[in-house]
Amino acid sequence: VTGVPEDLLRDLARQVLGALVRRGAEFGSAEDAVQEALLDATVRWPQTGTPDEPAAWLTTVARRKLVDAQRTDAARRQREQVVAAHPPTGPTEQDDDTLLLLFLCCHPALSPTAAVPLTLRAVGGLTTREIAAAYLLPEATIAQRISRAKRIVAEQELNRPGDVTVVLRVLYLIFNEGYTAGTVRVDLAAEAIRLTRLLHEAYPQPEVGGLLALMLLHHARRAARFDDNAMLVPLDEQDRPKWDRTMIAEGVQVLTAALTREQHGEYQVQAAVAALHDDAASADETDWPQILAWYDELIELTGNPLAELSRAVAIGEVDGPLAGLRAVDDVEQRLSDYHRLHAVRAHLHARAGNTARAAELFALAARSAPSTAERDHLLKRAAHVRLNGGAIDTVSRRVGIRPSC
């Protein structure tokens, strides 16, 4: 799209759609109309130059498209009257519109597979093709998910203020997909951060801040998470100078502001753990006792067995690997063949010096790993402990510091 700044278009897409929907246009057809107007803009603006009031231009074109579409649909003709000319929207209205769109796209009636692409397109301004590329799915599949999602949304009554926990969940899923992918494709992690920022501006609740901070504090480590062969680099072996200090500072700031309001939630607590990792100049300087305390709180808040597994790692650091292994035993019933359970146990056995058992468990974890990056990483771990005992450098150093086991 030469000549048309893409970010501008994507911001405008959301604003124009928000304004149309707020003035009574049916969400599904308005979304189609805005997409068509955007296409027109990418064709015309490079020739005519970007109009002085691009939002007004897009709104006019989108409204015309909407009317055209509705002419062919007599049943909807009544509604087109509602979409009358309107004054430009101010920042407050734009925030309200963003919120309205997010509540529609992340409606509790939608499954995540439906809400995710709808949100990326209607609020994120990505094209169906870009979303398909990001998820490595055929374009027709994504197009179908979006149109089915719009049909479901059309049947719902929107009870403002909507359900922000569902919105947070959808944004979290988008971030996670981008974060685990690690390869060069449409940057879903950055996209999730952008959307969460918009939500945070419109709706600065503590958990919204918590999720934004969680994303920033993880995304900051991005450059250090994979090596040149696309192999996963675990946290304790990452080259910390590669971390993005500016992003970490922002994450800490957002998190601190959220925590002072004393309405802790799972995103704030997970962000606090991430902040403690980011704060350590080296793996050895990690404040594990504080991390352990946060995991205790996370378990109280969620009862999530995954949190208990993470807590077992922290216990292993604070009270030694044998204590960590006992904590893994306690959670095993609820996490039977989960690859992370095997991996955590393998890690603790390696630290306790049971290298044969550790190698066996790393190999077992590799078998059920959900991604090739994780599988390959676990295979290398298995090879490493078998050859060098537990002596992965940083781990052995820590054992040296804390021989309490």
Q: Which stretch binds another protein (CB under 8 A): 37-45, 78-86, 366-374, 393-401?
A: 366-374
**4: helix, strand or coil:** coil
Near another protein by CB under 8 A: residue from 380, 394, 396, 402: 380
Near another protein by CB under 8 A: residue from 82, 109, 230, 249: 230
Residue 105 contacts by C-beta under 8 Å, 6 or more apart in sequence? 115, 118, 119, 122, 123, 149, 153, 170
**Residue 361 C-beta: closest distance to another protein, Å:** 11
Whole-number Cα distances in Å, 257 to 29, 171, 214, 273, 404 = 39, 20, 13, 16, 37
Near another protein by CB under 8 A: residue from 58, 99, 134, 359: 359
Near another protein by CB under 8 A: residue from 362, 374, 398, 399: 362
Closer to another protein at the Cβ: 42 or 394? 394
Closer to another protein at the Cβ: 254 or 392? 392
Closer to another protein at the Cβ: 183 or 263? 183
* Angstrom distance (rounded) from CA 257 to CA 279: 17
Q: Does 260 bind another protein (CB under 8 A)?
A: no
Site string for another protein, 308-347 (x = CB under 8 A): -----------------------------x----------
Q: Could you tell me how many helices (H) and strands (E) the chain has, helices first? A: 21, 0
* The two three-digit tokens of residue 339, written as one number: 């690859």
Cβ-based burial of 306 (10 A; exposed 0-12, middle 13-18, buried ≥19):
middle
Question: How many other C-beta atoms are found inside a 10 Å radius of the C-beta of residue 236?
Answer: 17
Q: Which stretch binds another protein (CB under 8 A): 35-43, 148-156, 229-237, 350-358?
A: 229-237
DSSP 272: H
Closer to another protein at the Cβ: 155 or 337? 337
- Measured at the CA of 271, the angle between CA 268 and CA 275, to 5 degrees, comes to 135
Near another protein by CB under 8 A: residue from 231, 233, 235, 323: 231
* Angstrom distance (rounded) from CA 203 to CA 181: 29
Q: Does 86 bind another protein (CB under 8 A)?
A: no
Near another protein by CB under 8 A: residue from 50, 368, 394, 396: 368
Closer to another protein at the Cβ: 78 or 229? 229
Q: Distance of alpha carbon 35 from its chain centroid, rounded?
A: 24
Which residues here bind another protein, judged by CB under 8 A? Answer: 229-231, 337, 359, 362-363, 366-370, 372, 375-376, 379-380, 382-384, 386-387
